[in-house]
Homo-oligomer: A and B are copies of this chain.
């Protein structure tokens, strides 16, 4: 039984989970750092507890503090969301030992999948194909660099260096020729140590022209492990997904079945429980290779929800409560696309941007879903990931979904901070995206020298005129007048009286 869930996360995924709990009739506890005191997710929780500490390590990553809040508030389950502590086996173990339900798989499953080397060994044993590559287990810098150099001769170029404990593109480097190797290896290790406290990397062959295709799985304690079809997430910038869809445009029912079976085998190999994703590279040959398993809910889970009609977060909560999952046989319908709206300057190498959301007006209407943790008036700060929102559309066909995404992006207005909205909008017009022939190199190939917007001069002129008129006419959008109150000493007196006639 689960009755009160502590959400150990922030931003849009915290909102997503809090809403699901609310719908499921579960009480909720949010935790927040001081710099999140005005954030939307706090509003959606029944209780919100301030974390002491300044850095991420002292707040959202402070296991002891979070556990003690769970105990204090009587939470009987912890949902970690994604990122932060979601794939920390030690935290999952500590939560379980505190007799609190962990919304996710066992610590052992997280460990086996979290370490890329162990995961590859486990997958090979389960008969799931893995990418040719070698693990570098050395912790010492000099030994590691030597081993990487030696492995590079056997793996061959182009190759990819990845942090063993990594995710989200951190600590990842593509190496195209031997002269780049040492600098890349050092950089990858440095980032890996900074982000995960673990400098181990591994070297694998870079499979060019491949699609990133991942299979959503669900497993409950009643012996049922199923897959919910695939998502294609090939379109990535800086190794981070920005455009995700379900189904994959080039998928066949046979291939889906084969990949789905491999994903279920992967999950069963670690006695998986809850929602997870098995990521594959799908080569142009039709061969697919295990990349990694994400032992948590994923950013792009909504496209699967829209296509299959399964509420993945609700199912996570059900499974964690020991109930069987509620979904029936796989029934895919239509097409869903998600884009990730970032506060970033797409025209300047996608560098993160900050600033106030002076205007934040998302699109509405049929087939549009918005998952966000911000609203107009919020400030985008450098403290956290610069993702502002996920805009997700569903339509009966892929063509219609792309048309709807274009319409929705055209309507989306964000002023006050630079975003990638226009980049995403132009992406929807690229032949490769329209035909579905995307692969993991799509963005780099389409814009080898970086993207910049194509703006018709007449529209820019009109916008300049708008700014000039705005300045001339004094059309300043004034922010809230939050004066601190009247002058005078603080009053010690408070009452509420009702006078009835």
Cα separation A220 to B391 with both chains bound (whole Å): 33
Cα separation A375 to B326 with both chains bound (whole Å): 37
Is the Cβ of A483 less than 8 Å from the Cβ of B473? yes
Binds B, one of A126-134, A242-250, A359-367: A359-367
Cα separation A98 to B22 with both chains bound (whole Å): 55
User: Which residue of B23, B44, B406 is within 8 Å of A404 (Cβ)?
Assistant: B23
Is the Cβ of A396 less than 8 Å from the Cβ of B310? yes
User: Which residues of B lie under 8 Å from residue A15 when comparing CB positions?
Assistant: 364-365
User: Which residues of B lie under 8 Å from residue A406 when comparing CB positions?
Assistant: 23
- Interface residues of A, count at CB 8 A: 61
Interface membership of A499, Cβ < 8 A: no
Interface membership of A125, Cβ < 8 A: no
A138-160 interface bits toward B, Cβ cutoff 8 Å, 1 = contact, 0 = none: 00000000000000000000000
CB contact under 8 A between A400 and B496, given known A477-B480, A485-B472: no
Among residues 377 to 408 in chain A, which have CB atoms less than 8 Å away from a CB atom of chain B? 395-397, 400, 403-404, 406-407
Is the Cβ of B371 less than 8 Å from the Cβ of A23? no
Is the Cβ of A19 less than 8 Å from the Cβ of B407? yes
Cα separation A22 to B365 with both chains bound (whole Å): 12
A393 vs chain B, min Cβ distance (A): 10
CB contact under 8 A between A395 and B333, given known A364-B370, A485-B472: no
Closest to A392 in B: B366
Is the Cβ of A480 less than 8 Å from the Cβ of B482? no
Cα separation A485 to B364 with both chains bound (whole Å): 33
Is the Cβ of B302 less than 8 Å from the Cβ of A366? yes
Closest to A371 in B: B365
Interface membership of A486, Cβ < 8 A: yes
Interface membership of A464, Cβ < 8 A: yes
CB contact under 8 A between A464 and B496, given known A475-B480, A475-B481, A478-B480: yes
Is the Cβ of A314 less than 8 Å from the Cβ of B372? no
Closest to A305 in B: B366
User: Which residues of B lie under 8 Å from residue A313 when comparing CB positions?
Assistant: 366
Is the Cβ of A482 less than 8 Å from the Cβ of B486? no
Is the Cβ of B485 less than 8 Å from the Cβ of A16? no
User: Which residues of B lie under 8 Å from residue A404 when comparing CB positions?
Assistant: 23
User: Which residues of B lie under 8 Å from residue A20 when comparing CB positions?
Assistant: 366
A373 vs chain B, min Cβ distance (A): 10
Of the listed residues A19, A313, A314, A400, the one surrounded by the most CB atoms of chain B closer than 10 A to its CB is A19
A489 vs chain B, min Cβ distance (A): 14
Is the Cβ of A327 less than 8 Å from the Cβ of B396? yes
User: Which residue of B371, B473, B485 is within 8 Å of A485 (Cβ)?
Assistant: B473
CB contact under 8 A between A372 and B364, given known A473-B483, A481-B476: yes
User: Which residues of B lie under 8 Å from residue A179 when comparing CB positions?
Assistant: none
A310 vs chain B, min Cβ distance (A): 7
Interface membership of A445, Cβ < 8 A: no
A317 vs chain B, min Cβ distance (A): 12
Cα separation A313 to B396 with both chains bound (whole Å): 13
User: Which residues of B lie under 8 Å from residue A411 when comparing CB positions?
Assistant: 44
Interface membership of A369, Cβ < 8 A: yes
User: Which residues of B lie under 8 Å from residue A472 when comparing CB positions?
Assistant: 485-486
A71-96 interface bits toward B, Cβ cutoff 8 Å, 1 = contact, 0 = none: 00000000000000000000000000
Among residues 443 to 494 in chain A, which have CB atoms less than 8 Å away from a CB atom of chain B? 461, 464-465, 472-478, 480-486
- Known pairs A16-B365, A361-B375, A368-B369 / 7 extra A-B pairs, C-beta < 8 Å: A311-B396, A465-B496, A472-B486, A473-B482, A474-B481, A477-B480, A478-B478
What are 24 pairs between A and B in contact, CB < 8 Å? A19-B365, A19-B366, A22-B410, A23-B403, A23-B406, A305-B366, A309-B333, A309-B396, A311-B395, A311-B400, A327-B396, A361-B375, A365-B370, A365-B371, A366-B369, A367-B369, A464-B496, A472-B486, A475-B481, A475-B482, A477-B480, A477-B481, A478-B478, A478-B481
